[in-house]
Structure 1
């Protein structure tokens, strides 16, 4: 569990007024002093994100945020950072000082919230009873109370397990047990030395979890693999090898890409498909926003910065203006763009991706995933998306 990527962990954000006890809870859940705890207001400045193991749930990411209530210009900037990071939260702990409940700020959003009252040893028994009656779903913490901390862990686990039911598998609901997959993995200058990229690793693990067999080859070994393997239920290729795979894989074998599988798992697949057809409507100087989930050194084989822009110019006959954002950056002026291109977002968690897609949908801005865009530009989108509309399971 220690090696679980941050993007695959449930994110728990801790919010509340300054000096309410957020960092104390953060450290208690983490089991170490990762955030500075002080009576001085505004001790936590930028959000702090740490990977942790929440027993018995499993791997999570804990987020300590700057406190509400700082009216200075610096405080306003801190709040902007807090609001940005809340986009990725799967669960929010709203920390409230039991002795100062009137100053508590109510979270207004769609993310599930657990109210957590701290410093309960400082209020009367009658007042504490009143708070518990008014907030039956809240957790009440007292200093040095192991029982109360266990109650908080249990409540968090229950809420997160409810969400687990909604999580999608990459392949488990598309194919039956025992299926055979041919995974096509090109090795070029952009491929990391000595390892596979995360979407490839995730799919291999998903195959193992669902009792499927995965066979891995390079794009130059497809025909040889087809001769050796008697039966293939699905071929999955790196998006940049779509043209080669489409030519080499017989039409009776479904074909898709790692990126398209990830797009369905993390976002609104239909929204991406609708965005693909908008590529043909681009004009010279159309503004395209490219969202990359990680920072990396670009090469002449970079998909988002080289290959897709070149294909758009070749297939559509236009030169667009491209703007790039990496990691969790998402520009405030996203409404100014004609199209958004998004990588597979293997390094960004599902909640953040969903939040972005909702904003783009509400603003009427088309968005398309790299894999879907490459399938469209190679003229094989119908074939590459067939497995999703006609699952074999």
Structure 2
């Protein structure tokens, strides 16, 4: 747990034609053969990730993608996969063979500009003469916005240790280019802005059968670290020890954060004047648009028996007997609807991949701990454009337990968004 979590790393995408040098650039940047390199076109058939520290940016994930000029039916699928990867990166490099510019590069520029991803151009020149020409070259102005930075490098065709070392030393321009690209939006603190200096925080972390053995889950670890960064006094207890923790304090805590699955019991035991929220809601604020997710939760109030709600998980994992997404959430949604609700599980898949004659009324997403803020917001924005309400596991659980307003109270804007959407839901269904 000493390394930066993958979602907190800057994601850098490498895009370009086959054999332009994307994989060679990836290998040179990390100083090892992370991606397979071959003279044969189309060696990279799936996006390849490499986690590393890259000066001056710090912890990053390099994403090497298939060539944008791949041919045939399978090649078209690879191109589509590369262009989808644009939505997952914080910045990008378009890699050219010498100064070759055409339709594939124009396609990459359009995708990056649409996704509002800052990018630069790297000319991989095979000889010194072409490198000199490339420094005075620019793509057609009609294809490229002004101010896009350009770097020139000479990447090796082989991948032995000596050539990688030489290439790594020749990447000063590329590193300078990356440093010029606008940084991604700074993430808000997870919880320390909710506490006074030296404030007291209680984290309620149940250790049931679904908890990983010998460790805490990522949101709990991140909460502890953020509390320490804020110089807070942090108590970590199980739900069974929560009442004793409250009694041990001379003064009430400044904030209580609990797992969504025990929120009803924790809310009942917490004094009304003590702010209470859940790890899921904190992660929703960190990763995405909290008011938008709160409005999505209000849409669940309109559910009726027989409706369809998509359950979306960002990663694939081995489900437990009482799995939250496959068992607990559908059970709670049935309680809200007053009858059974269809809940197709999209594990590691996008809600767009759902195919059925029954239209979905909403999407309930996991906490997104494996996603970056950009990736989570992309999903939220796409759902909003499709007029498909989206919320997350924690909000759905808190709504079904009747405590959603209580756990949203530390976030006035999100609470107001939920209340406004709930009034609309009541009006549309004829409820009081």
TM-score (ref. length: structure 2): 0.84
Give the 3-state SS of the residue equivalent to 2:261 in structure 1: helix
> After the TM superposition, which residues 279-318 of structure 1 pair with which residues of structure 2 at under 5 Å, given as runs?
279-318=300-339
Would you say 1:131 and 2:138 are equivalent positions?
yes
* Residue in structure 2 matched with residue 367 of structure 1 by the alignment: 390
- How many Å separate the matches in 1 of 2:26 and 2:10? 15
2:221 matched to which residue of 1? 201
Q: Which residue of the partner structure matches residue 426 of structure 2?
A: none
Matched, 1:189 2:189: no
Q: Does 1:355 align with 2:378?
A: yes
Q: For residues 328 and 6 of structure 1, do their structure 2 counterparts lie closer, same or farther at Cα, with a shift above 3 Å needed?
A: farther
* Per-residue deviation, residues 302-338 of structure 1 (Å, max 9, x unmatched): 2222222112222331211111122364533489421
Task: Report the equivalent of 2:27.
Answer: 27
Question: After the TM superposition, which residues 233-252 of structure 1 pair with which residues of structure 2 at under 5 Å, given as runs?
Answer: 233-252=254-273
Q: Report what 1:177 is aligned to.
A: 197
Task: For residues 107-162 of structure 1, give each alpha carbon's deviation from its aligned partner in whole angstroms, at most 9, with x where no partner exists.
Answer: 222211111111163527456413399766111223456665122123323436x3
Aligned positions of 1:1-393 closer than 5 A: 3-102=3-102, 104-106=104-106, 107-108=109-110, 109=114, 110-119=116-125, 121=128, 123=130, 125-126=132-133, 128-131=135-138, 137-143=149-155, 149-159=171-181, 162-163=183-184, 165-231=185-251, 232-327=253-348, 329-333=350-354, 336-389=359-412
Deviations 1:24-46 (A, max 9, x none): 11111111111122222111111
- After the TM superposition, which of the residue ranges 195-204 and 38-47 deviates more from structure 2? 38-47
Secondary structure, counterpart of 2:138 in structure 1: helix
Residues of 1 paired with 2:390 and 2:58: CA distance?
33
Q: CA deviation at 1:351?
A: 1.5
- Structure 2 gap segments, 5+ residues each: 142-146, 156-165, 415-432
Q: How far, CA to CA, are the matches of 2:168 and 2:208 in structure 1?
A: 53
Q: Tell me if structure 1 keeps the 8 A contact 2:123–2:134.
A: no
Deviations 1:273-302 (A, max 9, x none): 101111121122212111113322323432
Counterpart secondary structure, 2:46:
coil
Where does the alignment leave 5 or more consecutive residues of structure 1 unmatched? none
Relative to structure 2, which stretch is displaced further, 128-137 or 104-113?
A: 128-137
Q: Name the CA distance, whole Å, in 2 between partners of 1:339 and 1:248.
A: 32
Aligned-residue CA RMSD (Å): 2.4
Cα displacement (A) at 1:176 = 2.5
- 1:98 Cα deviation (Å)? 2.4
Q: Distance in 2 between matches of 1:93 and 1:170?
A: 30
The answer on whether the counterparts of 1:222 and 1:249 sit within 8 Å (CA) in structure 2 is no
Cα distance change, pair 171–2 in 1 and its aligned pair in 2 (3 A): closer
Distance 1:37 1:245, change over 3 A: same
Query: Would the aligned equivalents of 1:16 and 1:95 in 2 still touch at CA under 8 Å?
Result: yes
The answer to whether the Cα contact below 8 Å between 2:98 and 2:131 also exists between their aligned partners in 1 is no
Moved more, 306-315 or 44-53: 306-315
Conserved in 2, the CA contact under 8 Å of 1:174 and 1:388?
no
Give the TM-score normalised by structure 1.
0.92
